[in-house]
Structure 1
Amino acid sequence: MRFQPSNNFNLNFNSGRFSERFNLNWRVIPSLTLTASGNTREEALATGLRFSHSSRNFFALASATLDTNSNLRWSLSSRLGRLKLNHRGNEIITNSEFSYDFTRRRTDSDQHLLLLKYETRNTNRNQDNLASLGWRYRSGKRAGDGRYLWEVDLGYGIGSQGSGMIASASTAVIPGVVLRVRYQEVSVTSDEATFRIELVPSLNFQQGISPGESRFERLRQQGGLLISPFFDDNNNGKRDSSEELYLDQPELLLILNNQSIESFRPETRGNGIYVNLLPGTYRLDFDPSGFPIDWQAAVDAYAVEVVAGSYTPVSVPLLLSYTISGVVTDSEGKAVAGARVEAIETESGVRRFSVTNGAGVYYLERLPQGRFSVQINDQPVQSGEILLDESSEPFQELNLQQLL
């Protein structure tokens, strides 16, 4: 059952064989949401809040909950350009990971990250910690279920229990199985060297259906969305065989009915992102902070209809995005404040504009590929023709002079 009197408030109630659950979200202001949840199995009620903020190069999502059993949980996810911070914890354990991504533009190429991690564990007798510095490699290609074909971590840790090397590797090249190997000379609670080999089943049938999976059993009463963001290299609005999906961190990109997609418990598979939903009409938006660098969605939002018994496919083309910036001056070379700078797409007539600040600086952002003419206060400028194509740099500088 779902109760949603407005876009800022919703209450979900679910009843199953073993428990009854509810989830409440109240968006007080655009950046702050109050939450409440409970279930009969754990006999606990939890209240909390969720804060989010995003701009062109910065994103932050923080949440905290406290339940009637005195369990406190919190998390923080933040990104500034290529820098990322992920932190989560409770009254016993905390985990923090700071990373820098060296990957350029596309996510279908190999990924290299520099990692700094810090873990703590507080028990009645001990307060242990472990800090580590390392490198992570992820292959650009993925298996059919969305997992990386190869992933390797190599680092060195120093903590309360000692110091030593930490290394791991996993592969999904064997169909239906993920093989993981891990060796570590120190952990947050021990200085004993350990070596582990794990085989994790990952069987999929009919584009990702696995045996006994309740997600597909619930489809008889519910419906869902299959969201497939992809790199639309040729700008034709449909996915061609050579165009890769973008499935990294959907919780940063997708917003459903003014909530992060994470609150709907999405599942990423090789052909997209599955979300179970009750039948009805939903609004799907995109947070600009979640786009891969220099890419944007062709459409800002979708209205999608969910029907019982099936997944509604939503194909999301991602287009290359460009930014042009510069200074507007007058005939004497002085900066012009408050000038309206417009880029007008020649073919469609679509306009993008920016107003200069006190230093005469303007920013024309999220420009698609195409040919543009530039105007200042509705007047053309010299050298005001711009051509943006796949060979163009994503950020360009263009200083303009206002004509009398």
Structure 2
Amino acid sequence: MAPWPAPSILFSAAVPPPSQKQVLLVVPKLNGREMSNSLAFWREPDGRDFVALDAFAQLAAIDITREGDGSVTLATPIGDAPIPADALRTDKDVLFVDTVILSKALAAEVAFEESEFALKINLPWKPGATADLPARTASDEPVDIHAPRASLSRWRSELLTTHSDGEVFASANHRFAGALGPGYWRADLSHGVVGASRDLDFQALSWVVDRGPSRFLVGQERIGLHPLLASFDLSGVQYSYSNRPDIAYASSVSGDGQLVPYQARPTSVIRGNGPPGGTAELRFGGQVLARQTIRLDGRYEFRDVPASPGDAIPIEVAVYAFGETGTPLRVDETYSQAGNLQLPKGTTVHFAGAGVNGFVLDANRQGHGNAAFYQFRGGLSNRITAEGVVQSLDGHVQSSVGTAMNLGPVGTWAVYAGQNDRGAGARQILGDGRRGEWYWRANWLSYDAGYQNENAEETENRRVEVGRNFGSTLRVSLIHADARGQFERDIRYTKPAASWRPIRQLQLSARPEYDGRYAFDAQWYVRRGTRLSASRYGDLGQLALDQDISSNSRLNVSAQHDSRLGNRLNATFNQYRGGPAHLAWAAGILRSKGGTGYLGEVSLEIRPGLSARAQVLRDPLREGDGTVVGVSLVADFAVTGAGLARGTLSATQAREGGISGVVEKPEGVRSDLDLAGIPILVDGHVRIRTEPGGHFHVADLAPGVYRVELDNEGLPIELAVHQPPRRVEVRAGSLTRVDFGLELRLGLAGKVTDTSGKPLADHTIEVVDAEGQSRGKAQSSQFGYFRVDGLPPGRYKVRAVDASGAILAEGEAVLDDRFVFGVELKAAAGSE
């Protein structure tokens, strides 16, 4: 149950500066949602604010480690945050932490809102989320709840409708997954609803058995083995084996669902630095592929990035500060990273498959003939990794061989060669390295005529960059690019690039894009909450002013120039209202070509797992489109017999499962009691909190056996759980159902004083039921407060008694469906 708070001073209006220390009870608003449990909050006369650390950590779902020097370390999903000892205070054995230092350490916002009498907590992660967990092997420990043998565990559907120029288009895509026998199944499909073909398009339909080092798949999947080889659809069987499954079967952000995620990419891992708590956004060709929160040490990392090493368009990472969603602070580019193609010494991966070329259940994706492949990758040493692939499609054979090598001071290089059965070849060289402040990157991809198909022309793509860092404020480089046969015209240039931060508030960059045109960006933070920016990217140039109106609303005014369409002025107001529905909206005016247009957008969560978004746009730059209205509905659920909880279904074949269930209300509990926000502990750590109605879903668990329980301290005051922790089996690809039953256990609290109003400390308070049986005892505090928990509904006498058992004061309390406060006991003067 929630701990009994220390005596507090309660406020209902704005709080004046205190003349002495004050300990308050405040309502926490976590990421826009008001929580039910209060937090103890300490205000110093000098204006410093402190919050109870243990209660805050429980709310934020983070762990505390107390160090020997008096400091503490907070373990969060985006890294460890050290808190120095001088930022901590203790009051009545409760540890408090300075909110300013806490905010800085967590890259978060923790501040007292006097107008709402609430502690505003905005975290750069979702409470209950976790960082990457270590691989977990099957356990021999006893299991209380086994994983299901057959189930529909996850369901995600998205419906998109657009009304434009008098026509309506609607399409839907669906994704399902669950357990089946010793493995798991999944299905991805899409279809038109209105104004489009209603034929079912199957992106995937498969059954997978995942057993330690081995994986076996039956069904339809898309296969991509190496950039030098053609990708294809396969209906048939696949098998893989690796002595390091934690490396071979790591999840991929690409969402391609391949049984063995393709590792041989030059950008399979992208690492960089940014503002702690901010956002890193992975882009390719202008499309957002993935987003992640920047860790507290300033690092971000994207693994298994789905880009071919031969692409002339570089991968980009847009970096945003915490809470920013407009113009990024900067855009980082990256190219080959050959070091990520290497495997540790002795690691081997075998991957093979055979079947029909194409999807037999999809009329739109039926190929010709048969298909088969075999791929081997092996770490010959910690510096050399070898790879070989051969595949046959409709009787035509392609193969590739190569190696990735760490050459020490020269950097890491990878060399591959491919050939088909017509004698045509292909080549690829990747390299990157760093020495002191100097760095270099290179890639070369060349296809002979007739290599990719009979009619394919010869193509070549080369890109080299050499640069130098001058401290942390200036980076300059020289880029050479040469691409032939891939675009409308050949591309060839040698141009400089630079990024410069002369002062903390100003950031400038210029860099040639893939076609040689420069992308420019300038960001000037005039003052807190005000930013001016100028940028040019592709066909669009923009001047913009972003002004924070409040902590959750912003005004953006911009002038844009589109080299193809013309000029436009925009003014947009955005606001995030938060709350249980996570409501956000935007409204704007657009002016161009003497005409006026508008835009509007609203998004909200209808229920946990079901969200809606509506947009309306009339763009004077695109007069022919008229008014465009779009509506989307997304349902993403974890499915159990207990009902639906918010889900997290991806398209990958990641080796992970989950736990889902419901916390049930006991009979007799009051109807307005919400079971949202109860912490769910997995192996002793808070992994998630219940949604309204008590449903929960713990995702991203490696196969194994886990100890699952409720955090008793996080339950509403009237409820208790007496079930022991359950040992729960988790299998890849499915959810295991775990339900928790609660018991109604009420209580009462009050104060004992003498007739003059003086508090009586250290007196025994006894609660007696209607039959005269003692049901609970407590000692009054130094201020005369007492509390007795764990009482069933009923009528009770509450007594203050002395050491001999004589009754000094007596009162009555009726417990119906909620805790009773304010029980007053008056003892005769001199009762001490």
TM-score (norm 2): 0.28
2: CA distance, partners of 1:269 / 1:393: 21
Q: 1:284 to 1:341 in 2, by over 3 A?
A: same
The structure 1 residue matched to 2:776, chosen from 351, 368, 372, is 351
Q: What amino acid is the match of 1:248?
A: A
Q: What amino acid is the match of 2:635?
A: S
Given that residues 328 and 361 in structure 1 are in contact (C-alpha distance below 8 angstroms), is that contact kept between their aligned partners in structure 2? no
1:273: Cα distance to partner?
A: 0.9
- Find the counterpart in structure 1 of residue 80 from structure 2: 48
Q: What amino acid is the match of 1:339?
A: H
1: CA distance, partners of 2:767 / 2:662: 30
2: CA distance, partners of 1:312 / 1:178: 24
The structure 1 residue matched to 2:824, chosen from 368, 373, 398, is 398
Q: 1:75 to 1:352 in 2, by over 3 A?
A: farther
- Find the counterpart in structure 2 of residue 191 from structure 1: none
Given that residues 328 and 362 in structure 1 are in contact (C-alpha distance below 8 angstroms), is that contact kept between their aligned partners in structure 2? no
Q: What amino acid is the match of 1:286?
A: D
1: CA distance, partners of 2:277 / 2:648: 32
2: CA distance, partners of 1:286 / 1:60: 23
Given that residues 354 and 362 in structure 1 are in contact (C-alpha distance below 8 angstroms), is that contact kept between their aligned partners in structure 2? yes
Provide the identity percentage.
Answer: 13
- Find the counterpart in structure 1 of residue 793 from structure 2: 369
2: CA distance, partners of 1:216 / 1:328: 65
- Find the counterpart in structure 1 of residue 666 from structure 2: 232
Q: How does 1:296-375 map to 2 (within 5 A)?
A: 296-299=718-721, 302-309=724-731, 311-317=736-742, 319=744, 321-329=746-754, 334-344=758-768, 349-357=774-782, 359-364=783-788, 369-375=793-799
List per-residue Cα deviations over 1:333-381 (Å, max 9, x = no partner): 6542221223355678542513231x43434467653333323244445
Given that residues 326 and 362 in structure 1 are in contact (C-alpha distance below 8 angstroms), is that contact kept between their aligned partners in structure 2? yes
1:305: Cα distance to partner?
A: 1.3
Please list every run of 5 or more consecutive structure 1 residues that lacks an aligned counterpart in the other structure.
1-24, 38-45, 66-71, 96-117, 140-147, 157-164, 185-194, 236-241
Given that residues 254 and 284 in structure 1 are in contact (C-alpha distance below 8 angstroms), is that contact kept between their aligned partners in structure 2? yes
2:813 equivalent to 1:386: yes
Given that residues 677 and 691 in structure 2 are in contact (C-alpha distance below 8 angstroms), is that contact kept between their aligned partners in structure 1? no
- Find the counterpart in structure 1 of residue 275 from structure 2: 91
2: CA distance, partners of 1:202 / 1:282: 29
List per-residue Cα deviations over 1:56-114 (Å, max 9, x = no partner): xx99999x99xxxxxx963467999983422235728769xxxxxxxxxxxxxxxxxxx
2: CA distance, partners of 1:352 / 1:49: 41
1: CA distance, partners of 2:586 / 2:323: 14
1:389: Cα distance to partner?
A: 0.9
Given that residues 340 and 356 in structure 1 are in contact (C-alpha distance below 8 angstroms), is that contact kept between their aligned partners in structure 2? no
Q: What amino acid is the match of 1:387?
A: V
- Find the counterpart in structure 1 of residue 495 from structure 2: none
1:29: Cα distance to partner?
A: 3.5
- Find the counterpart in structure 2 of residue 3 from structure 1: none
1: CA distance, partners of 2:76 / 2:96: 24
Q: 1:229 to 1:325 in 2, by over 3 A?
A: same
- Find the counterpart in structure 2 of residue 10 from structure 1: none
Q: 1:297 to 1:318 in 2, by over 3 A?
A: same
2: CA distance, partners of 1:228 / 1:212: 17
List per-residue Cα deviations over 1:290-333 (Å, max 9, x = no partner): 445xx443226731111244524232427475542123327x76
1: CA distance, partners of 2:692 / 2:753: 48
Q: How does 1:36-185 map to 2 (within 5 A)?
A: 47-49=79-81, 74-75=107-108, 83-88=118-123, 91=275, 119=323, 123=329, 124=507, 125-127=523-525, 128=531, 129-130=547-548, 131=550, 132=552, 152=583, 168-170=602-604, 172=606, 178-181=611-614
- Find the counterpart in structure 1 of residue 65 from structure 2: 28
1:227: Cα distance to partner?
A: 4.2
The structure 2 residue matched to 1:199, chosen from 632, 643, 648, is 632
List per-residue Cα deviations over 1:109-134 (Å, max 9, x = no partner): xxxxxxxxx95588322223511578
Q: Which has the higher contact order (CA 8 A, sep 6+)?
A: 2
2: CA distance, partners of 1:365 / 1:316: 19
TM-score (norm 1): 0.50
SS of residue paired to 2:742: strand
- Find the counterpart in structure 1 of residue 401 from structure 2: none
1: CA distance, partners of 2:696 / 2:123: 24
Between structure 1 and structure 2, the one with the greater Rg is 2
1: CA distance, partners of 2:602 / 2:73: 38
Q: What amino acid is the match of 1:254?
A: I
2:649 equivalent to 1:213: yes
1:230: Cα distance to partner?
A: 3.7
Given that residues 107 and 277 in structure 2 are in contact (C-alpha distance below 8 angstroms), is that contact kept between their aligned partners in structure 1? no
The structure 2 residue matched to 1:248, chosen from 666, 670, 676, is 676
1: CA distance, partners of 2:764 / 2:600: 55
Q: What amino acid is the match of 2:781?
A: T
Q: 1:267 to 1:343 in 2, by over 3 A?
A: closer
1: CA distance, partners of 2:278 / 2:793: 45
1:287: Cα distance to partner?
A: 5.8
Name the Cα RMSD after superposition.
Answer: 5.8
2: CA distance, partners of 1:344 / 1:373: 5
Given that residues 154 and 166 in structure 1 are in contact (C-alpha distance below 8 angstroms), is that contact kept between their aligned partners in structure 2? yes
Q: What amino acid is the match of 2:604?
A: S
SS of residue paired to 2:762: coil
1: CA distance, partners of 2:123 / 2:612: 26
Q: How does 1:222-301 map to 2 (within 5 A)?
A: 224-234=658-668, 246=674, 248-250=676-678, 253-262=679-688, 272-276=695-699, 277=701, 278-280=703-705, 282=707, 284-286=709-711, 288=713, 290-291=714-715, 295-299=717-721
Please list every run of 5 or more consecutive structure 2 residues that lacks an aligned counterpart in the other structure.
1-61, 125-273, 280-321, 330-506, 508-522, 526-530, 532-546, 554-574, 588-598, 618-627
Given that residues 760 and 784 in structure 2 are in contact (C-alpha distance below 8 angstroms), is that contact kept between their aligned partners in structure 1? yes
Q: How many residues end up aligned between the 2 structures?
A: 293
1:261: Cα distance to partner?
A: 1.9
2: CA distance, partners of 1:198 / 1:216: 27
2: CA distance, partners of 1:92 / 1:61: 19
Q: 1:126 to 1:354 in 2, by over 3 A?
A: farther
2: CA distance, partners of 1:26 / 1:172: 32
Q: 1:246 to 1:222 in 2, by over 3 A?
A: farther
Given that residues 179 and 197 in structure 1 are in contact (C-alpha distance below 8 angstroms), is that contact kept between their aligned partners in structure 2? no
Given that residues 324 and 395 in structure 1 are in contact (C-alpha distance below 8 angstroms), is that contact kept between their aligned partners in structure 2? yes
2: CA distance, partners of 1:336 / 1:205: 53
